[in-house]
Structure 1
Amino acid sequence: MEGFKLDRFGFCSLLCVILMLVSVSNGQLSPSENRILFQVQKLLEYPEVLQSWTNWTNFCYLPPSPSLKIVCTNSRVSELTIVGNRSSPSRITKTTSGPQGLSGKFSMDALFTVLTKLSNLKVLSLVSLGLWGPLPAKINRLHSLEVLNLTSNFISGEIPKQISSFQNLTSLVLSDNLFNGSVPDLTALSNLKELNLGGNHLGLEFPSLSQSLEALAVKPPVRKKEQESGINIGLILGIIGGVIVIAGGIVLLILIIVRRRTDTTEDANYERSIADKMSVRSSPKPAIDSRRVPQTMRSAAIGLPRYRVFSLEEIEDATNNFDSSNFMGEDSQGQLYKGWLVDGLVVAVKCLKLKQKHLPQNLMQHMEVLSKLRHRHLVSVLGHCIVTYQDHPNTASTVFIVFEHISNGSLRDYLTDWRKKEILKWPQRMAITIGAARGIQFLHTGIAPGIYGNDLKIDNILLDETLTAKISNYNIPLPLKTGSESPLANRLSSDDIAEKEDIYQLGILLLQVITGKMATFTSELDELKLELEKSLAEGPSGLRNVIDPSIRGTFAYESMRTTVQFAINCLSKDSTKRPSIEDVLWNLQYSIQVQEGWNSSGNLATHM
């Protein structure tokens, strides 16, 4: 009897172990697939729905969300659904100001190179994420795919013929994009039940389809008048008639539902019903430049007056004829004066002398770039004034740039004044450095062409009344050098080198924020960097001896450790080993998330 009890106990134990192993295998992704998902997050430029991902995120147990769904099977991703909030071709109008395509650095090929490593993926849905560029042929590497949904993006070019190689595909939805050309032969997709290609610019030829198809949505193209004589009218009418017959019952049902709706706003035009996809409508093309501007950068002009062109009289009145009492200083670009506009708004006016005579119309491309320098983390441009030579009234000599005025001091002021220093504990310092990084990201990728070599010194990080960081004295894209004829004039010879130089200066800024020491000389920086490297090896006690004493007890060790390590990476002597600005932001955001978790768990009393 006792032997039976032992055997039963052993059997139960074994069963528990098996159940635990099964649970772990289904509930934890392999490390390689974890890395793939983080790569996808980065390539999609950190959309809002993915911004909460951290190193501790368990992708197999994410809370239910209509915008994000990940299903794990045997430690591998079998379903990936991400729904963003960017605009799509059908939603673009002349007044559209919302987020559109991803930035100019986005690569569709790179994204699908990463996605095809998810070998067990059966459902892939990437909706309203601003994807642009042609759909790469390598998509056929997703051998297990059953559902593909790429609705409401800016994907262009022809639909690759390799898409017909998906033996298991049951649903193909590519609606509301910029596809053109003819639809490939899809008769090989024997399991296809749903096809939606509406809202594209596809050719006149009707696609060859499998007999298994149950739901069809293809937007009939609009014919040009000059093509009518060369097209078989009977064939076209027959095709359109066939499509209308197939959709007739569905259209009737949708119309009944629509009549019951009271909402007749513009958004009703964008419902994703099949009836809408069958309707004949033109889709305005998106503005190409807008693709460079990620969603997080669209708050540029919030709280700022409308950009305007000032007259010389207005500039002189604002500065009291450039009275010496309003002189604020001078840098390598020009002199800076304080001024007051007619409405009482305090501004800063920078006087830039052009080294070469320029026709005002030749400056317009520069002014176009200048007018876009409006962002929450920049000292934003409010307007400009072009002054011409008296003897050559059609030739420009000087440009006055009107900036917003930030009067609360610089980050240096706060870190060197012991009274102000007490205000800046670790969470506040993290917020300031993230703000500066976001300002740099906007200058690099938020406008075209990007602006680099931005003199990111601690004196040039100004703080407003809410301690929001604003970068001042950044590079102004104006032809200040002899012979310059484009907005690239005042940038360094190589964008790559200049971009990494900005990262290096951001590393110096992090170093100063962490230690509270205003090291500027190379020897001082090297010594401080070496101290930090040693402190990381020694653990919490070593780090405690290097950081600014005024922030002890206000930070989580993991948050500080991550920031220190990343500051060291930014200061690498080899510029190719310095991180990108996107990597900087990701790590800083991770660090502040750790800090917030530490704060909310009541650890503020735990001093390190």
Structure 2
Amino acid sequence: MLVAAVIELLVLWAVLGRAALPGSQTQSLLRLQKLLGDPSALGGWSANTSFCSLPPSPMLNVSCAYADQSGTQTVILLQIVGDKLPITVRLPDDFSIITLANTLVKFPDLRTLTLVSLGIWGLVPASLDHLRSLELLNLSSNFLSGSIPDRFASLGSLQSLALDNNILRGTFPTALNVLPNLDTLQLSHNQIAGTIPSQISLFASLKTLDMDHNLLFGALPDSISNMRVAETISISDNFLAGVVPNLSRVASLRTLNLAGNQLGPSFPGLGQGLVSANLERNRFSDSIPDSLRGLSQLKLLNLSLNSIPGALPGWIFSLQSLETLVLDHNRLSGTLPSAVTLASGLRYVDISTNLLMGEVPAELRSGRITLHVEENCFSGQEIQLQQQQPQEYCLKAQRMIPRRWKGGVVAGIAGGVMAVGAAMALLLVILLRFSKRGKLKLKHAAATCANNSCADTASVGVPVELLHSTRYLAQSGTVGATGPNQCRVFSLLELEEATSRFSQGLLIGEGEYGKVFRGKLDDGTLVAIKCLVIDSRQEMKQLKAHLEFLSRIRHRHLVSLFGYCLEREKDGPQHRRLYLVSEFIDNGTLRSHLFKRKLKESLTWQNRLVAALGAGRGIHYLHTGVVPGIFNNDVRITNILLDHNFVGKVSDFGLARHPESESYHFHSFLLSHSFFSFFLSRKLATDKRDVYNFGLTLLEIVLGRPPTVDNPMAMKPKVQELVSSSSSVFRTEMVDSAISGTCSEDSLSTVLEIAAKCLSSDLTARPSMEDVLWNLQYAVQVQDQRFSGEYLEDSSGRE
């Protein structure tokens, strides 16, 4: 019996021994836990943890395999996902990306490595090329910078590389085309610049290419049509221009997303297997081609915000698999067929903001689908609830034909490509300058960082084409992203020295809730110092995290926050005094420039539009360019500052006053335990509040005076009357006399129309900031064209 028990124990010991990790890998996992700041997913790890037996979860997964006949195991899969907090915080300044890489290479048999949303920062470590068995590498949603190392080309087993949502620069990673098994390349939401190389076709196994939201420019190479196994090509929100190559030869292509570029004017050939095609926000100006009839598997077609002219063919509603059709904001004209056949799966159609007339076919009005037809010239009682223009509006608009449509197409395209090329070349120079500054920032202290950041956000040398481009906003927000020590915690003594003990001679603004002083830091940096009273019951740790988050935001249309100082109030134990130290903008507020009539210095209509467009881009970036989006901003005309080039910048973002208090509260989701429910519902309310307030700003730049203070909604009927009125006398009475007679009818009407929509009492009827920006961009363009003569109006249409 004793012998049998001993044998059983020996067998058990042998089995347990075979399941053990080498000591070096156990120590490496524990070191990894420390390097990553002990994220909650790794809570409870110790030397006694049986790592290979940990139950997998979405946040953590460790898998092992036997290394050899010795019975020891080795880690082959390591997945760690950071805490899903409202704010993604970068790891501390003493974090070392080199130490992290040296720790990871201790797992030589690793096949899958996923480190997501952990705050990792630094250059992408080239030494990861030692992991020769690696099949999947996912380092997305961190703060990695630099370029993708060419040494990754030695990872012969690599199948998937995901580095999206970082701050990568450099150019397209052409060197990786030698990887025989690479089928997924996800690099979206970075700062990768340059052109897409012709060697793209050498990625023989690539099925998914995701380069959304980068700084790519130039034309798509013809060789992209030779990516014979590609299933998804997504390169939206870049600066691509020119004709799209014929993609009908890519028979495997299922998803195509080229939205938010400058592509056109002709439609690309599309393969019959395509399921989703998103070409919105480009420059396509050909009529809808008959070749789309053959796309029997197409479920989504989005061609909105282009310049597509001509009739809307009835067959487009009956494409066999179609579910969603989006054609709004084009130049579609004429009437729809009296009867149309709808695809069985069609559920959503948007043909709003075109030049369509006549009646809407009964099949579209049946209620079976969600239909948007507003801002056309349709007639009939059935569509009275959706705002329509008079028929004369569409007839006149059709006569307003761009010169390039009447002739000189080749010359126009060539000129456009040259102009875009020049602008992109200049942009690249700017980016290279930022890149050099970014490296310096990693070596300097906080004050120097703040000073450099101020320089980076100055509006010097930015091409007009980019100032007028809504696609520039998201990318420009991350240019000049800063290194460590970005958020400086000032002492009250430092601020007193910077402002000569808050001298009244340095007071530059005073409102109901605080004062603003001009100051000079000890390194010579000019700053604006705002003093606020906050509720001391707020969680200070979360408040400080929020301020650090705000200080990392860099966008040319947002006033940069350099740091803060917190002091207790002597007379109010429930309150604290918060000093915010921000970039100093030297040209005052937008409102102050509307009232300089005595000096004949009031802003021109063009300058007002550009200032509003800049501020709108800043607000849009807060909504969509950071995660999570920042809403409920204190959007008002006195918080829109102008730099020396009259470029608009939004100040005091991320800060909201409590409606029943004289103190300030920071975003409610910082204080809420139900963040995710808040996140899901916020777009129904909070962003629309910013849109409403921005509408008031648009109204004021037209009127030259503040709207009714007690009840801004009371101005809406006047705005709508301004939009629809053909009486020049009425408009003269309402529009600011400083701009009356200098702004084009089309430009003024566009601004008034979008302002009226912003002021809608129905939250769901208010436009998004994206829509507002496109309308403002159009207003700028038609104002320019009034004087440049780019548009010709048919003489028969003149009044």
TM-score under structure 1 normalisation? 0.48
More helix by share: 1
Greater relative contact order (Cα < 8 A, sep 6+): 1
TM-score under structure 2 normalisation? 0.38
